[in-house]
Structure 1
Amino acid sequence: MLLVVQKFGGTSVADADKIKAAAARAVKAKRLGHQVVMVVSARGKKTDELVGLAAEITETPPAREMDMLLSTGEQESVALMAMAVQTLGEEAISLTGGQIGIVTDSTHTKARIRSISTDRMRQALKQGKIVIAAGFQGTDEDFNITTLGRGGSDTTAVALAAVLQADVCEIYTDVEGVFSTDPRMVETAQKINRISYDEMLELASLGAGVMHSRSIEFADKFRVPIRVRPAYSDAEGTLIAPEPADHLPVVTGVAFVRDEARVSLSKLPDRPGVMQVVLQKMSERKIPVDMIIQDVGDGGLAEVSFTVPQNDLAETLTAAEAAIEELGAGEVLHGTNLSKVSVVGAGMRRHTGVAAQMFQALCDAEVNIGMITTSEIKISVLVSRDQCEKAVHAVHAGFGLHKEHALTPPLGQSHAASPTGATFTNEEWETDVIAKLSSMEDIVVSDVCLDREQSLVTISNIPDTPGIAAALFSANAKADVMVDMIVQNISHSGLAHLSFTVPKAQLQTSLEITRAAAEQWPTTELNSQDHIAKLTVSGIGLRSHTGVGERMFHALAEANINVQLINTSEVRISTVIDLESGEAAHRAVLDAFGLEG
């Protein structure tokens, strides 16, 4: 007998017929001998309707009362679903978040889970009932109703699957599964049969849209297998699970965020503590900063650029001006009408030339690159918004993602072990997970790594035109140079600056071939640093917790350590520092996050 959590989104319960269809799916699983917990969202446009009603009353509704109002949407859905299940001859019980025992903090409209009690659900399941849980909601310690924010029902479903040690969490939606890119833009997009947590987290946060990143964070932390399935058929959908040991695709998918804005702080003093001040001002305003880039300083001055959602630009500029005022130097610049295009794939770790292949595809499509940032499994570029669709098509085709993927083997054993591999009883597992839920939401850094075996290559004053990055990295790829961090900041003068790291053993090879490739641009200057260290902070939820970067750079500033280079992803922040400062930096950041060395 399996324990299955089934989550149904708003489009899957939009009307009576769809509610009945969802109920029939749960009943079928129950009659196969499984215990079933359903998590249900508000029906269709119900949330929008409630938001509209509130707007007719007041332009500034109190957050507490908005939670009280919006939670009624799920309460309606679970009651109707329980009725539908009972008409099919099975017992069911509908429960609100508070009745389940989901306790959150008191941050209305975007609360974080603190604990979940499983007693009532376990009792109902033992009685043979289908438990129907309201997604998106809980209560704080004063019994105020709270909501979990965007993607809250997905978060509820995966969190319940974690504490109940469910065998699988099924997310029913109005699409076939997770695709290699948005099929509404690229008709040849293929359904992905299996994807790892890290890949899905990058795709979810970068605009894939099928699931919200916070629910993937829970799944990754507690190894909950998720299957994204269509509500309208019996198709298997996409399995989101731990990364397999082999057969990793080099590139799994292409994600894009259409409406991005870029903010640059130029002429900053190149000294310790600058980034900490910048990120502190952003964190104070809960601005979701993305694609953070700092390139190598010049003449005692540095420049930092980052992207934010277009709608957050005005608030971001205010925060940036506050940072400049506190630092006593600098200038704020910005750009709009931009899009971010990213490729994601766990196989990148083992293959050279992935960046070159992406940049060549963009070059062939005559798409110019404004900024570049990378991680082990992701490469992101900033392009003009009017070239977003062309860029996505080019990169998707360039990696052959229009071809059908291999079939995924069926889900194997239940995740009856902890993330560390220890076997738990149900009661021990629940105690362990419940104890960690708070730290899951608050302390997200899992590893701080120091790499002393890399060198830095910097190319200055290269023309800001399509094809430059393709030429440089194709040359390195042909020589089998393993390029790691790639950073290109925005160009303000028609000339760009690009930096990348390579293994020390390959530095001279890289310099020779890069110099030869750059001979066609007479303004180019090539420099290198052999003695650097790369310090990387990894974890789950770096994007959703705006204070992680601030804490990291505050620790480095307190240790009087300057940062030469920065790039970021959804699960990693990487910096280049002086080699002699490596050990001190490593210890300072470990201490900042309470980790052992």
Structure 2
Amino acid sequence: MSIIVQKFGGTSVATAEKIRNAASRAIAAKKAGHQVVVVVSARGKKTDELVDLATEITGTPSPREMDVLLSTGEQETIALMAMAIHTLGEKAVSLTGPQIGIMTDEASTKARIRQIKTGRIHDLLDAGNIIVAAGFQGHDQIGNITTLGRGGSDTTATALAAVLNASLCEIYTDVEGVFTTDPRIVAEARQVHQISYDEMLELASLGAGVMHSRSIEFAKKYRVPLRVRPSFNEGSGTLISLQPLDPTPVVTGVALVKNELRVSLYNVPDRPGVMSLIFEKMAARKIPIDLVVQDIAEGGTAEISFTVPKDDFAEAVTAAEEAVEILGQGKVRHGTQLAKVSIVGSGMQTHTGVAAQLFQTLASHGINVLMISTGDIKISVLIDADRALDAVKAIHNDFGLDKLEIPKPHVGESLKGVSVETHPLDEKREREVVLRLANMEDIVVSDVIVDTTQARVTIKNLVDKAGIAANLFSVVAEGGVMVDMIVQNVSQKGRTNITFTIPANDLEKCLKLVKNAVEMDGEVTLTHDAEIAKISVAGIGLRSHTGVGEKMFRTLSDHDINILLVGASEMRMTAVINKSQANAAEKALCEMFLGPEI
């Protein structure tokens, strides 16, 4: 018999009527032949009320006592939900996090799961009960109640689904599902019926608030299908799974992150260890670096820019100034009133001209691009904040996302619009998952990847105006050259630099195309390098784990490997280095992240 995990957020259990509605959904799943585990959050604004109450008592509440206090919100909900299921004629048992057997580390208010014991759950399910589990909480090894921090109930649900080998994890919320962009910005936004883990991770990291990244990480790692469903109707929502739809849309979604703040380090020395030092200073303050750009060095100096969340801006500037002081040269500048707009889609890996189309759309609306950074399935641009909404609307329309017809998936058997596959219980798999749970939320690098087939093209001192990137990459795309990594740093004195990588076999053709596309005035220079290598560490949640970049760049620095370019996404951190150092870099990073046996 397959297991389904259902998670109901605070708005979905805010009232007695909503609790009864959630109970009915759980009972429907059980009557369809599934064993059911329901994970719930605290009702409505309960957590906020408890926090406010604590601040009335003291301005500096103990983290341990805050865990004890906040965990009562979910405890209230599980009892009410179990009562509702009882009144509707089914058996149910409510369990707190500690009663379930969720063990965490000792980090109060932001604990990480270390182990889940499943024996009691299986016994109760086999006895015909619906399990009503408290999300967001567990206990440490000496019995203290702990809470899991932001997104904690989603994390509980997907972790339980992973360890129980569930066929499906349903996340009930107050939206219809995942959309091509925020419907509050673009009224024509369309619901996406199926999306890949990677696409959803990128969108989540870019501010799509449907699910927290941590829970998607769990699901991807253990191949648990997720379905985001509305709690207020019978809509089928959005299935998040291993593969995107076939045929795959080139672009699945447009995301906006407001209030991005830029920190730039100019005239820093071009030598091994510089990037390592910067990331070390940021990691020490737990600052998540987002859009990262490093220009090709000139005259022995380099320029490095990155964006950080608004709340981390002051700390980031201080860290950057500390790095410059240690380096003995360089200046720190920063920019505010900026926004990051990104397109995400698995299809862009196999389609030329996606970047060119994005840049052309922005240029046609007079929107200048300040920075560019790309990943395997994402292109991000930094623009002025006052043009952000215009940009999202224009991109959404130009890529045809307002007309996107995505068929609903048909997988396995149907449960009131919910497609599931039956997974037989596998005791060996369960034991393996439980053993791995001890490190489930540690920094996870699954692979080190080296690509020596690329070449670099750099155009320096281009006049910085709207349309320059659009024209350049349109010509390159029309010439049949597939562009991989694109980097554009913030302009100085009205001039900007653009660097990109292409297949080395296309270098000669690409250089001719660039010369036709760019006005080569007296200041513009064109350089190239066919002797480069791209070295990447790949995994899940790398951008949000601030220590990944620091470890990667420190390792390269320790082996005297200089970094020419940098790119980062939710799933990959990439550095461009000299080709002659590729083998040494691969060996060093494998030893750092994967162990000496690799």
Pair in the same fold by TM > 0.5: yes
Whole-angstrom CA distance in 2 between matches of 1:412 and 1:515: 54
Counterpart of 2:402 in 1: which secondary structure? Answer: coil
Deviates more, 1:243-252 or 1:429-438: 243-252
Shift of 1:522: 5.2
Amino acid at match of 1:68: V
Aligned to 1:113: 113
Deviates more, 1:557-566 or 1:48-57: 48-57
Shift of 1:264: 1.1
Whole-angstrom CA distance in 1 between matches of 2:104 and 2:2: 28
Shift of 1:427: 1.5
Aligned to 1:124: 124
Kindly indicate whether residue 159 of structure 2 is the aligned counterpart of residue 159 of structure 1: yes
Counterpart of 2:54 in 1: which secondary structure? Answer: helix
Q: TM-score, normalised by structure 1?
A: 0.97
Cα deviation, 1:176-235, whole Å, max 9, x if unaligned, reads 100000001100000001100000000011011100111110011000000111101111
Whole-angstrom CA distance in 2 between matches of 1:572 and 1:82: 43
**Equivalent residues in 2 for 1:151-550, closer than 5 Å:** 151-244=151-244, 246-412=246-412, 426-519=426-519, 523-550=523-550
Amino acid at match of 2:142: D
The 1:112–1:338 alpha-carbon spacing in structure 2 relative to 1, beyond 3 Å, is: same
Whole-angstrom CA distance in 1 between matches of 2:74 and 2:387: 40
Tell me, yes or no, if the aligned pair for 2:359 and 2:467 is still in contact at 8 Å: yes
Number of residue pairs aligned between Structure 1 and Structure 2: 591
Tell me, yes or no, if the aligned pair for 1:155 and 1:215 is still in contact at 8 Å: yes
Counterpart of 1:277 in 2: which secondary structure? Answer: helix
Shift of 1:543: 2.0
Cα deviation, 1:506-529, whole Å, max 9, x if unaligned, reads 111111111111127553211111
Counterpart of 2:299 in 1: which secondary structure? Answer: coil
Counterpart of 1:439 in 2: which secondary structure? Answer: coil
Tell me, yes or no, if the aligned pair for 2:2 and 2:422 is still in contact at 8 Å: no
Kindly indicate whether residue 156 of structure 2 is the aligned counterpart of residue 147 of structure 1: no
Amino acid at match of 1:212: H
The 1:245–1:255 alpha-carbon spacing in structure 2 relative to 1, beyond 3 Å, is: closer
Tell me, yes or no, if the aligned pair for 1:165 and 1:416 is still in contact at 8 Å: no
Identity across the alignment (%): 59
Amino acid at match of 1:61: P
Shift of 1:412: 3.0
Tell me, yes or no, if the aligned pair for 2:180 and 2:252 is still in contact at 8 Å: yes
Tell me, yes or no, if the aligned pair for 1:224 and 1:415 is still in contact at 8 Å: no
Deviates more, 1:144-153 or 1:238-247: 238-247
Tell me, yes or no, if the aligned pair for 1:443 and 1:593 is still in contact at 8 Å: no
Counterpart of 2:280 in 1: which secondary structure? Answer: helix
Counterpart of 2:534 in 1: which secondary structure? Answer: strand
Aligned to 1:588: 588
Amino acid at match of 2:565: L
Aligned to 2:565: 565
Shift of 1:62: 2.4
Shift of 1:416: 7.5
Amino acid at match of 2:410: P
Aligned to 1:421: none
Q: TM-score, normalised by structure 2?
A: 0.96
Whole-angstrom CA distance in 2 between matches of 1:407 and 1:191: 11
Whole-angstrom CA distance in 2 between matches of 1:227 and 1:34: 16
Structure 1 unaligned regions, length at least 5: 418-423
Tell me, yes or no, if the aligned pair for 1:67 and 1:109 is still in contact at 8 Å: yes
Cα deviation, 1:392-437, whole Å, max 9, x if unaligned, reads 11111111000142212223387788xxxxxx85211111111122
**Equivalent residues in 2 for 1:31-50, closer than 5 Å:** 31-50=31-50
Whole-angstrom CA distance in 2 between matches of 1:443 and 1:407: 36
Aligned to 1:420: none
Tell me, yes or no, if the aligned pair for 1:455 and 1:501 is still in contact at 8 Å: yes
Kindly indicate whether residue 81 of structure 2 is the aligned counterpart of residue 90 of structure 1: no
Cα deviation, 1:341-363, whole Å, max 9, x if unaligned, reads 10000011111111001111111
Tell me, yes or no, if the aligned pair for 2:136 and 2:147 is still in contact at 8 Å: yes
Counterpart of 1:340 in 2: which secondary structure? Answer: strand
Shift of 1:246: 4.0
Whole-angstrom CA distance in 2 between matches of 1:416 and 1:78: 27
Tell me, yes or no, if the aligned pair for 1:191 and 1:405 is still in contact at 8 Å: no
Amino acid at match of 1:310: K
Counterpart of 2:192 in 1: which secondary structure? Answer: coil
Cα deviation, 1:483-513, whole Å, max 9, x if unaligned, reads 0000011123221111000001111111111
Tell me, yes or no, if the aligned pair for 1:250 and 1:345 is still in contact at 8 Å: yes
Tell me, yes or no, if the aligned pair for 1:164 and 1:426 is still in contact at 8 Å: no
Tell me, yes or no, if the aligned pair for 1:214 and 1:544 is still in contact at 8 Å: no
